Amino acid sequence: MRILIVLSFLLLNNLEAAIFSKYQMQEIKCASTKMQLFYFYLKPDRSGDIKDFTFDCKGVKVRYVMPQWIDSTLANMVARKVWKDPEEGEISEADLWRTSVSIIYEFLEITKKTFPPEEGGPGIQPALLVKEYADVKIRFQMSLDRLYRARLGDSFDGRGRTLLAIFNLILKEMEAILESIATSDPKKYNTAVVAISVLSQDAFSVILKPSRNYEKITPPDKMKVLLWRIFGLISVVVVFVAVMLFFVLNEDKTKKLFDDYKNKAEKWREEFSRQFLEININYLVGIPIVLFGLLGIFTMSIFGFLFFIVLGVLVGLRLPKFVLRTLKMIRGKKIDSQLMDAIILMSNSLKSGLDIIQGFEMVSKDLLPPISEEFALVIKNYQLGMPFEKALMMMEERIESKMLSYMIRAIILQRQIGGNLTKVFERIVIDIREESKLEEKTKALTAQQRIQSIVVAIMPWIMVSVMFVFQPDMMIKFYATPFGLAVAVFCLVWMSIGIKVVASLGKIRV
């Protein structure tokens, strides 16, 4: 019986000693000594031996010499009162830091109580220390809260931010220790204690490192900035005058260039007139060029001015075609929505004994624009001597509508080879109804893709606009450089590709 008791006692001692390995216990001891040294570094009345201290850390003799910057910085930290407590009164910056460091040291000393006797500890189980661990954790959390609320990130010549981050990690490991004791998880307890030991040594290493020397950025001289902007404005004017002289000296090329533009403008004007619109093409082309030119002038840079002028010319020359295509698409959709009523009206007129031309006249009189305008134009061209088939083909060219094309081709075929046109009209009406239902269904299915394409197209411009509002000088300075312009062009190209791809995902041809 006595032998069993002795064996049980020895086994219990072995289990207690197995909480930490020998190397881990040396790690904890080393961290405790460094926290003690850290604490004394922050005391104004420290002894001289602390400034040059040698001790055994993990089996190696190490020597630490207190950094010289601590003496000069500590005087300001002691004099600076950053916290006021009802009981303790005003507390200095140094005292707040020293409190947190002393609590970490106290935690490590409590952990040493779990060491076996051969390592200098009584071998107490962690479960019996739960009350002490909880008290240390609460006091450390309160001290860390004071450090954060006192905004001591700039302490120790800027090292305070790193120390606060390390202390926050130590607090999380303290919480893990309490959780490991509650769940009887010795592995988690071991990991958390060793982590605190390593983090404590990291905190001590932070104050030993030299402070970072940042280059002082002096604000630019206002006179230099003004002269530079004046120079940029003069450069813009010089380039503008040089371009004008180039056109004057190359009269033949300039005349040919303007003749080509006049021909294009006349063609665009005719296209707009066929859509029953009267638009001054010169305004449509010139307004983007002027607007982009003003943006280029605001950059006060020759590169920015040239970039925006070229961009304005490209936009101005492409804008009429884009507007014309958009208007034709909008007008075609409006006519599609009226086409079924027009076909039914013409079908009824044919059944009552009238011909197709009289049916067109009824549509032009009884329905609303834009379909009444198109049908009236067909009748007008026919009355002026144009063949009815050609007048229909011209209407097909003016309007982008698939169902209207079916109707026109059916009328032309009926006039050439004969047939029952009312039956064809009835079939087209059924097709229009089915297609409208299918289009509504596809719109509902592709709503997400269409919204995504809109967001992809708009959000970058919103973000750039916000940045220009809050940091105009920085943005102008960046985009006025060749590199900034290259970045802008690169982004425009890939944004266009992305918008095209996302938009194409939501298009379903019916």
Query: What are the pLDDT digits (tens) for 286-305?
Result: 788 888 777 777 766 666 66
46 vs 93, higher pLDDT:
93
Q: CA-CA distance, 489 to 487, in Å (whole number)?
A: 6
A 10 A CB-CB count for 90 gives: 10
CB 309 within 8 A of CB 292: yes
- 3-class SS of residue 32: helix
- pLDDT score of 1 more than 50: no
The mean of the pLDDT values for the chain is 78
Query: What are the pLDDT digits (tens) for 140-166?
Result: 999 889 888 888 878 887 788 888 889
Q: CA-CA distance, 215 to 233, in Å (whole number)?
A: 32
What does the pLDDT average to over 175-197? 90
127: which residues sit within 8 A by CB, 6+ positions away?
Answer: 181, 184
What does the pLDDT average to over 454-480? 78
State residue 177's pLDDT score.
Answer: 92
Query: How far apart, in Å, are the Cα atoms of 290 and each of 282, 316, 343, 469?
Result: 12, 10, 47, 22
Q: Find the range with the poorest average confidence among 215-219, 364-368, 455-459.
A: 215-219
Q: Find the range with the poorest average confidence among 257-266, 426-435, 501-510.
A: 501-510
CB 39 within 8 A of CB 97: no
44 vs 140, higher pLDDT:
140
- pLDDT score of 225 more than 60: no
Domains in the chain: boundaries: 19-208, 222-439, 446-510
DSSP state, 216?
A: P
- pLDDT score of 234 more than 80: no
Q: CA-CA distance, 177 to 256, in Å (whole number)?
A: 86
Residue type at 115?
F
Residue 5 Cα to chain centre, angstroms? 69
Half-sphere exposure of 46 (CA within 13 A, CB side): 21
State residue 325's pLDDT score.
Answer: 81
CB 34 within 8 A of CB 204: yes
> Which of these, 199, 197, 198, 176, lies nearest to 187 by C-alpha position?
176
State residue 299's pLDDT score.
Answer: 65
Q: Find the range with the poorest average confidence among 2-16, 22-36, 177-191, 402-416.
A: 2-16
215 vs 364, higher pLDDT:
364
- 3-class SS of residue 394: helix
Q: CA-CA distance, 210 to 68, in Å (whole number)?
A: 10
Residue type at 368?
L
Going 217 to 222 to 223 to 229, the CA torsion angle's sign is positive
State residue 14's pLDDT score.
Answer: 40
- pLDDT score of 12 more than 50: no
392 vs 50, higher pLDDT:
392
Query: What are the pLDDT digits (tens) for 307-332?
Result: 777 777 887 888 888 888 888 888 88
In DSSP terms, 54 is beta-bridged to 63
Residue type at 55?
F
Q: CA-CA distance, 25 to 307, in Å (whole number)?
A: 68
Q: CA-CA distance, 79 to 95, in Å (whole number)?
A: 10
A 10 A CB-CB count for 408 gives: 19
- 3-class SS of residue 45: coil
Q: CA-CA distance, 226 to 220, in Å (whole number)?
A: 10
Query: What are the pLDDT digits (tens) for 97-116?
Result: 888 999 999 999 999 888 88
Q: CA-CA distance, 280 to 482, in Å (whole number)?
A: 36
327, exposed or middle or buried, with CB in 10 Å at 0-12, 13-18, 19+? middle
Angle (CA) 139 110 188, round 5°: 90
Query: What are the pLDDT digits (tens) for 54-89?
Result: 878 877 888 888 777 777 787 888 888 888 877 778
CB 16 within 8 A of CB 125: yes
CB 92 within 8 A of CB 80: yes
Most confident region among 266-275, 358-367, 474-483 by mean pLDDT: 358-367
pLDDT bracket for residue 169 (50, 70, 90): very high
pTM of the model: 0.44
A 10 A CB-CB count for 310 gives: 13
- pLDDT score of 250 more than 80: no
Query: What are the pLDDT digits (tens) for 444-465?
Result: 777 777 777 777 778 887 888 8
Q: Are strands 81-85 and 60-65 parallel, antiparallel or unpaired?
A: unpaired
Residue whose entry in the numeric block shows the structure tokens 């290259």: 486
